[in-house]
Amino acid sequence: MNDHLLSMHDLTAADVTRILDTAGSFREVGSRVIKKVPALRGRTVVNLFLENSTRTRISFELAAKRLSADVINFSAGGSSVAKGESLKDTALTLQAMGADAIVVRHSSSGSPLQLTRWVDAHVLNAGDGTHEHPTQALLDLYTMREKHGRLDGLRVAIVGDVLHSRVARSLSIGLVTVGAEVTLVGPPTLIPPEAPAWGVEVSYDLDGVIPKLDVCYVLRVQRERQRLEYFPSVREYARLFGLTSERAQMLPETALIMHPGPMNRGVEIDSDVADRPAAVIEEQVTNGIAIRMALLYLLLGGTGEAEAA
Amino acid sequence: MTERVVFEGVRLVDPLAGVDEVRDVAVADGVLSAETPSDAERIDARGLILIPGLVDLHTHLREPGGEHKETVATGTRAAAAGGYTAVAAMANTDPPADNAAIVQAVRDLAAAAGSCDVFPVGAITRGLGGETLAEIEEMVDAGVRVFSDDGRSVPTARLLRNALTYAKAFPADVVLAEHAEDASLTDGGQMHEGARSASLGLAGRPAEAEEIIVARDLAVARACGGRLHLCHLSSARAVDLVRRAKAEGVRVTAEVTPHHLVGTDDDLVTYDTMKKMNPPLRTAEDRDALRAGLADGTIDAIATDHAPHAVEEKDLEFDLAPPGTIGLETALAVVLTHLVEPGVLPLMRAIEAMTSAPARILGAVDHGGPLEPGRPANLAVFDPSAAWTVEPPFASKARNSAFLGERLRGRVRFTMLRGVFTVADGKPTR
């Protein structure tokens, strides 16, 4: 492992396997009555969340606490400029307080990489702008591997607003790294023309893609994209690219339905589709804690008690 | 005090005179002298190159309003350090230079500092608002020849047409300088749109944003006959458009910056805010087209777009940091190192693009040569073999150089403004 986790590009296939395996050993901790191991006792993890995100922050907080680390939550709405202190000064402050790891969520692409230039702590990217969200990608890979027993050769469609999605970037990179076949599906306005350079296929025809899938991964579509003329209406979007009940019927029986949350039911996914057994959306959330435990443990060089856990 | 000095054995490169030869160059009483005065200070200038003082069409001096970034005094000191004797100061100050009073104030500050002549650029529209024309006549009367709303394009073709047409009323050859980017395509954009922006997750500023405004402006200038200058071209297709327009006789000139001649969007992979520019650094193909356009004269001049910012302003998240790089102190060395040394551009053409060509566009008759007896001694002397590393301290108040840490060759040893040393032995005198 590197010192930081900023991008899925930082990881080889072997790294991914090691992280997923480590997460597997932590997965069980969450089902105990006492959900705690002492692996990171005395270490300090700072959750620096400069963009609103309750779900990811809670997941990281639980992960760190289950490893017995001291956790500090530093949240602020809006940009660092809006709160009057620069990101750099905030980072230097956290450094001075002895943070061992900084988990950063920020609306600015590239800010986790910038942080590494200012602090000695290990930096974990918890989502930066429209760039990447590697921990989400890893928990998704974990979920896919758990359900399908493999990642190599898995046929995955990522459907929706790829252009603005850090999840789509990280997941595409991760899936390609482990040998899966990725197809990005969405309106042409929301798929970067250069996406094929990531090693993925691009399609504008969801119906043509669906029958061959092992995983249908649905992205959240923000309604403001309509205002910015990326598509004419939510109605037309849902008709062309929404995972409707009719479309879900066309999926192979073993196919998984996944979504990074939070969902817009009725827009990118029909409500009853989200509640089907094939939809493993809550399991993604549960697995997220184990993945984040594994990453904190591996980055901070835990004391070897993971195996014991 | 003006000097009586002779640069002995210097290589004189003077594009307007068509001279490239080793000789003595004497200065007395503020002008170039055919005779060497007997009491002249003798400077052994063997191995050095003497050129007309550099002229920059595109400098942001930030005063008034942005004195924490740069002042007229520090900016002109940086200009002198880089070999410049004349710079055009952009109008986007606070308040903007949209009236004669601001223009005169900037010029007075420059005169008091004494490092470099400053030619204030006037705003095309009132308050740079892009809505109504500024009172152009009073600024022309105050000596302004170049007008620009730099930072953004004149928003509508109609307003541009009116400005270009209106400017024909003045006997002085007034030129409108355009920052060519279609705002509807660059809104929120952080870098060149392409494979790099897609993988970095940064919103793009596509090349066609420049192409569209360049095409529009050329059509308007062709129709109304006004004089148009295009700032900091960055894309291959824009160069093609200008080349064709010039062949058709459209009255257009164009500039390119050293950073666009050298950098590409690959430089952005570390989210280095020093490399954030408007227009953005584009692809290697664009960069090569800019070089070709500069070599064949499609692009007339090299201009720095010297854009100083405070340290804390650039030390921000990429999308929050302001665009721009300082350039006055590095322009000559960047051009020598990246273009002249590798044989991309002949030395004579490089010097022309940094002296006589911009002086002609600016109407700066005392600058850009020819360095003939009786002409004002506005000149620079540089050591083409001196290697140095771009790092603070700079003469500029700012440090936001896109070339930080780079090793360059070519260093200014002397700059003279009307026969007075503004740089001596490599150090600014003021």
Contact B200 A88 (CB under 8 A): no
B262 and B317, same structural domain? yes
Contact B320 A80 (CB under 8 A): yes
Examine the domain organization and report whether A138 and A234 are in the same domain.
Answer: yes
Q: Kindly state the percentage of chain B with pLDDT values over 90.
A: 97
* DSSP conformation letters of B356-367: HHHHHHHT-TTS
Query: Is the CB of residue B130 less than 8 Å from the CB of residue B152?
Result: yes
Q: In the listed set B362, B387, B415, which residue is the last one of a domain according to the structure?
A: B362
CB-nearest to A108 from B199, B315, B317 is B317
pLDDT at A77: 61
Whole-angstrom Cα distance, residue B258 to residue B268?
Answer: 17
Q: Is A30 on the interface with B (CB under 8 A)?
A: no
- In this complex, which of B201, B315, B319 lies closest to A132 when CB atoms are compared? B201
> Do residue B44 and residue B59 come from a single domain?
no
Q: Are residues B85 and B229 in the same domain?
A: yes
pLDDT digits (tens, 9 = 90+) for B299-330: 999 999 999 999 999 999 999 999 999 999 99
Which residue type, as a one-letter code, is found at position B54?
A: L
For residue B198, what is the nearest residue in chain A, using CA coordinates? Answer: A192
**Using the beta-carbon criterion (under 8 Å), do B318 and A80 form an inter-chain contact?**
no
Average pLDDT, chain B: 97
B172 and B35 in one domain? no
Q: Choose, out of A4, A89, A105, A131, the residue to mutate when testing the contact with B (most B CBs < 10 Å).
A: A131
User: Residues A263, A139: one domain?
Assistant: yes
Residues A253 and A185 in one domain: yes
Which residue among B362, B395, B418 closes a domain? B362
- pLDDT of the residue at A281: 94
Burial category of B342 from C-beta neighbours within 10 Å (exposed 0-12, middle 13-18, buried 19 and up): exposed
In terms of domains, do B79 and B36 share one?
no
Residues in B closer than 8 angstroms to A194, CB to CB, are 194-195, 198-199
Domain assignment present for residue A3? The answer is no
- Residues of chain A in contact with residue B270, where contact means CB-CB under 8 angstroms, are 113
Let me know whether B84 and B206 are in one domain.
yes
On whether residue B120 sits in a domain, the answer given is yes
Q: A111 and B270 in contact by Cβ < 8 A? A: no
pLDDT at A305 (0 to 100): 47
What's the CATH number where B331 sits?
3.20.20.140
CB atoms under 10 Å from CB of A282, counted, come to 9
Instruction: Tell whether B217 and B268 lie within a shared domain.
Output: yes
Q: Catalytic residue among B305, B315, B319, B425, which? A: B305
Facing residue for A88 by CB, picked from B203, B270, B315: B315
- Asked if the structure places residue B294 within a domain, the reply is yes
User: Quick check: is B105 in a domain?
Assistant: yes
Asked if B113 and B76 count as a contact pair (C-beta separation under 8 A), the reply is yes
Mean per-residue pLDDT for B230-259? 98
Mean pLDDT of B348-362: 98
From the list A103, A114, A161, A108, the residue with the least C-alpha distance to A131 is A108
ipTM, two decimals, is 0.91
Same domain, B259 and B397: no
With respect to residue A185, please indicate whether it lies within any of the assigned structural domains.
yes
What is the CATH number for B397? 2.30.40.10
Q: Given a cut of 70, is residue B126 above it in pLDDT?
A: yes
Assess if residue A83 is contained within a domain: yes
B204 against A227, higher pLDDT: B204
User: Same domain for A44 and A165?
Assistant: no
- Interface-testing mutation among A79, A83, A105, A109, with chain B (most B C-beta atoms within 10 A): A109
A291 CB contacts (<8 Å, ≥6 apart)?
A: A19, A20, A23, A135, A138, A139, A142
Catalytic residue IDs of A: 55-56, 83, 105, 133
Contact A284, A143 (CB under 8 A): yes
B217 and B357 housed in the same domain: yes
Chain A interface, mutation test: which of B193, B199, B266, B274, most A Cβ atoms within 10 Å? B199
Residues A158 and A257 in one domain: yes
CATH number at residue A83: 3.40.50.1370
Q: Are residues B202 and A130, on separate chains, in Cβ contact within 8 Å?
A: yes
In a shared domain, residues B19 and B94? no
Chain B residues whose CB is inside 8 A of the A79 CB are 317, 320
Residue A265 touches partner B, C-beta closer than 8 Å:
no
Question: Pick from B362, B391, B412: which residue ends a domain?
Answer: B362
Do A198 and B202 lie within an 8 Å CB cutoff?
no
User: Which residues, given as ranges, of chain A have pLDDT below 50?
Assistant: 79, 81, 304-309
Name the β-bridge partners of B416: B379, B421
Residue A88 touches chain B, beta carbons under 8 Å: yes
CB atoms within 10 A of CB B223: 13
Tell me: the pLDDT tens digits for B40-92? 999 999 999 999 999 999 999 999 999 999 999 999 999 999 999 999 999 99
A192 contacts on B by Cβ (under 8 Å): 198
pTM check: above 0.90: yes
Is A148 found in the same domain as A122? no
Q: What is the arithmetic mean of pLDDT over B400-423? A: 98
Q: Do strands A256-258 and B5-14 pair parallel, antiparallel, or not at all (unpaired)?
A: unpaired
**pLDDT value of residue B195:** 95
From B316's Cα to the closest Cα of chain A, the distance in A is 7
Is the Cβ pair A194, B317 closer than 8 Å?
no
| Residue numbers of the domain that contains B10 | 5-49+375-428
| Torsion sign over Cα A95, A97, A99, A100 | positive
Q: Does B343 score more than 70 pLDDT? A: yes
Domain span including residue A85:
8-132+285-308
Phi-psi region of A129 (alpha: psi -120 to 50; beta: other; left: phi over 0): left
Q: What domain count does chain A have?
A: 2
Q: Do A131 and B194 touch (CB under 8 A)?
A: no
Nearest chain A residue to B313 by CA: give it. Answer: A86
Any B CB within 8 A of A204 CB:
no
| B287 located within any domain | yes
| The pLDDT value given to residue B408 | 98
Instruction: Point out the residue among B200, B203, B320 whose CB comes nearest to the CB of A81.
Output: B320
Is the same domain home to B17 and B155?
no
Region B362-373 average pLDDT: 97
Question: Which of A200, A138, A202, A130 minimizes the C-alpha distance to A166?
Answer: A130
If asked whether residues A51 and A143 sit together in one domain, one would say no
Of B195, B198, B270, the CB nearest to A113: B270
What's the total number of domains in chain B?
A: 2
